Structure 1
Amino acid sequence: MRRAQATSVSAVLVAAATAFAALPAQAAEGSLPQVHAKVETPAVFDDEEGGNASADDPAIWRNDADPNRSLVIATAKEGGIRVYDLDAREVQSIPAQPAPGHDDAPGRINNVDIVGNYAVVSDRGFDALRIYSIDANRAGAPLEEVTDPANAPLIFSADQAEVNDETTAYGLAAWQDPESGRIFAAASEAGRTTHALLELKPDAEGKVGYTKVRTLDLPAEFTLPNGATWSPCEEPGELPQSEGMVADPVAGVLYIGQEDVGFWRVNADFTGEPELVDAVRDFGAPATWDPATEECTYGEDPGFGGDVLTADVEGLTLWNEPKGQGYLLVSSQGDNTFAVYGRSDNKYRGGFALAPGSVIDGSEDCDGAAVLNAPLGERYPNGLAVIHDGYDDPQVEGREGSNYKFVDLAELKAAVGLR
């Protein structure tokens, strides 16, 4: 089993772990404001009848020529990809492809991000990226795959046998460097602490391949302020993985949500030391895996964690504001809330819960979110937030439904008190 090295990052944590929480009272008191969705997508279902689909991660593509025809592109794991219009109606469904030599083991489209007119997704069943061009004028099929199969290598695995072990491409972020124009993606490895920096390379025929630039490992164990060594409790054989990621290409940084640890700020080129921005509440709490319950049993919490995030740390998304300002949104999955941090200083600014309304339910077990602070036609003139709901109500007996909620960004900002 590979193990990431906790180098000088651990030393940083000794000083930082006691300072995570000089935070507004609303975080500690649980009095977060509530926002509501305007519309929601049809549910997808995690069973054979529904194609074993499970919603996970959304991204928003703005149609600059006609913002009313902008799209939300979202993953459905073994169900592939779903594309929705701004009324949350499905306009395209792309199935996941069966893994090579395993017709009964389809691909698993996990995360998605938008860069220009490309949608980039991580396919866990292939340990690879898939790239799609976006064209709203292709009626009923705005996404078209343009991945160059000759230049789409395995990201973390040596061969298909390793791919079948499922320690494959998981979380994803994609961005374009504003100075060079080069396109990059970062992928995390499921069940591990390794991340790969990839460069996407379009060719003259419109196909897109990619090459690996370098890798970065986050720590798997930490030195606490009391001198003890701590590792998050995980299933046997697994390390504390990451999934939610988002890049700030202007600042040249990448934010990574390590699910049972907190979220990190790293250089987008994967150089230098990672910085833990905020830790989960039970950071440093001793725990052991109970095989009977398949859950962790916790001991006394020494109090080294933060006051905002409850594991898992999941979807991360960033949105810009005028004069280089903006915010970072983080899904605190363990308590079904969302935390907002400043883009420039990474300070906690407040939070909210996506609560049930009179018709549409709220969000539970949120894996991913996307925010676009730009006019999107008549429906969302002040911008849009799309939030994953891992437990869509009403449930159908024997079928676990999940979907995506669309939220007016102006309502979200007003509820949290953001300008």
Structure 2
Amino acid sequence: MKVNLGAVWSGISIAALLLAACATHEVDFQGEGEGFVGPGAEVQAVLETPSVGTAGQDAADDPAVWASSTPVTVGGQTTLGFVAGTDKKSGLYIYGLDGRILQFLPEGLLNNVDLVEGLTVEGRPQIVLGASDRTPGKTGVSLYLFDPAGTGDNRVRPWGAVATDVVEPYGFCFARRGDEVHAILVGHEGELRQFILSVDAAGRPASREVRRAEIGSISEGCAADEATDALYINEENVGLWRYGLDPATGAARTLVQPIAKDRLVADAEGLTTLTDGDKRYLIASSQGDSTFPVWRIDGAAPEYKGRFKVVDGAVDGITGTDGLAAAGGAVGPFPEGVVVVQDDVNDVGTQNFKYVDWRDIRRALGL
């Protein structure tokens, strides 16, 4: 679907568009001070992961969730899926759906991670994980494979990389367009690169760049909604944009939500989608006030449904979130879906990831 910058939906002001044109640099954390939490419906996380290994630094960043209908083996342990989460100072964690560590890959400066089904390698369907990689000498998208049918010491394993001209890879997400797997990279300075990922005759990854565009300023979070052929990107100090997922739409986009108090507060960070029956939702991280705005996105235009915040409960609340990920339907112990959120200020130890039952969010927002 081709969109036009001038065809904004109602409620988006000319001033917001001027802001989009003028923002050219990073402005960190625009809330009312570190730890400030804005208004929103209250929910609680039900469990959390151990702290990431890098202590005393901004380290835990972005997760991805995969669910299986049958048990799989990761490092000799049985699970109904896993959560991949980055320590952007040292590598990639693989967690169980109960929060325990199943595997750690010391892969360097990985920032955003996502995963996708749809590629076959050496005759076996694989889960492909991709992570934006800022490690000197290997900047790009690092790729990993997981074999759902593997046994024994089956693990997530390095597969290769997507090379790019982006100096500092930042945001990353996968998307499916028909039979194609698309990899979307967002650079720290607002570069947008889209690739089609495939498998060559030797079973190695092959990529072809199909779109390059400039978002305008520092950007990170991205998420795709294949059903509406939409790509959503957070420009951190400007707002939430909707692009066409079709690379032929180029730089055309529509501003869904400008940065605004009590709605989406800079830095606008992570994005994720969740399918709940015949409904689909987009969830964003409003890092500046530690809340999470939600839009329903299966209609003609995104419909804002409210915000939630994660407060103290069985585990501590969540503040200053960078990345988040969600999966709808049965996800291990979560019968109707889960949202996994990075927590910047953990009560014990260093940063970690927390799991929120989707049913609690749905109930809190009346969805």
Partner of 2:234: 257
CA distance in 1, matches of 2:15, 2:262: 10
Partner of 1:176: 176
Distance 1:389 1:18, change over 3 A: same
User: Does 2:131 match 1:142?
Assistant: no
CA distance in 2, matches of 1:172, 1:9: 23
Give the CA deviation at 1:249.
1.3
Give the CA deviation at 1:328.
0.5
- Percent identity over the alignment is 33
User: Does 2:129 match 1:119?
Assistant: yes
Give the match's secondary structure for 2:266.
coil
Give the CA deviation at 1:409.
1.1
The amino acid that maps onto 1:156 is: D
Give the CA deviation at 1:30.
5.3
CA distance in 1, matches of 2:41, 2:15: 25
Residue by residue over 1:161-183, the C-alpha shift from the partner in whole angstroms, topping out at 9 and shown as x without a partner, is: xxxxxx321100101212xx011
Residue by residue over 1:206-248, the C-alpha shift from the partner in whole angstroms, topping out at 9 and shown as x without a partner, is: 32132222201123xxxxxxxxxxxxxxxxxxxx211110011
| TM-score for both structures, normalised by structure 1 | 0.71
Partner of 1:312: 267
Partner of 1:383: 337
Give the CA deviation at 1:115.
0.8
Structure showing greater radius of gyration is 1
Give the match's secondary structure for 1:411.
helix
Give the CA deviation at 1:141.
5.0
Distance 1:260 1:90, change over 3 A: same
The amino acid that maps onto 1:146 is: W
Residue by residue over 1:349-393, the C-alpha shift from the partner in whole angstroms, topping out at 9 and shown as x without a partner, is: 011101111x4111111011111111123x111211111101111
Alignment of 1:362-377 (within 5 A): 362-377=317-332
CA distance in 2, matches of 1:132, 1:209: 13
CA distance in 2, matches of 1:15, 1:327: 20
Alignment of 1:200-349 (within 5 A): 200-219=197-216, 240-270=217-247, 271-272=249-250, 273-281=252-260, 307-323=262-278, 325-344=279-298, 345-349=301-305
Partner of 1:90: 101
Contact 1:91 1:141 (8 Å CA) reproduced: no
Contact 1:91 1:140 (8 Å CA) reproduced: no
CA distance in 2, matches of 1:127, 1:259: 22
Give the match's secondary structure for 2:237.
coil
Report which stretch shifted further, 343-352 or 34-43.
343-352
Residue by residue over 1:18-53, the C-alpha shift from the partner in whole angstroms, topping out at 9 and shown as x without a partner, is: 698xxxxxxxx9542211111100012544xx8x78
Higher relative contact order (CA 8 A, sep 6+): 2
Residue by residue over 1:182-225, the C-alpha shift from the partner in whole angstroms, topping out at 9 and shown as x without a partner, is: 111110111x1210011111124432132222201123xxxxxx
The amino acid that maps onto 1:201 is: S
The amino acid that maps onto 1:349 is: K
Distance 1:138 1:258, change over 3 A: farther
The amino acid that maps onto 2:172 is: L
Distance 1:18 1:9, change over 3 A: closer
The amino acid that maps onto 1:386 is: V
Partner of 2:145: 133
CA distance in 2, matches of 1:200, 1:217: 21
Provide the aligned C-alpha RMSD in A.
2.5
Contact 1:199 1:213 (8 Å CA) reproduced: yes
Query: What runs of 5+ residues in structure 1 fail to find an aligned partner?
Result: 1-7, 21-28, 97-106, 158-166, 220-239, 282-305, 396-400
| TM-score for both structures, normalised by structure 2 | 0.81
User: Does 2:357 match 1:392?
Assistant: no
Give the match's secondary structure for 2:288.
helix
Report which stretch shifted further, 62-71 or 328-337.
62-71
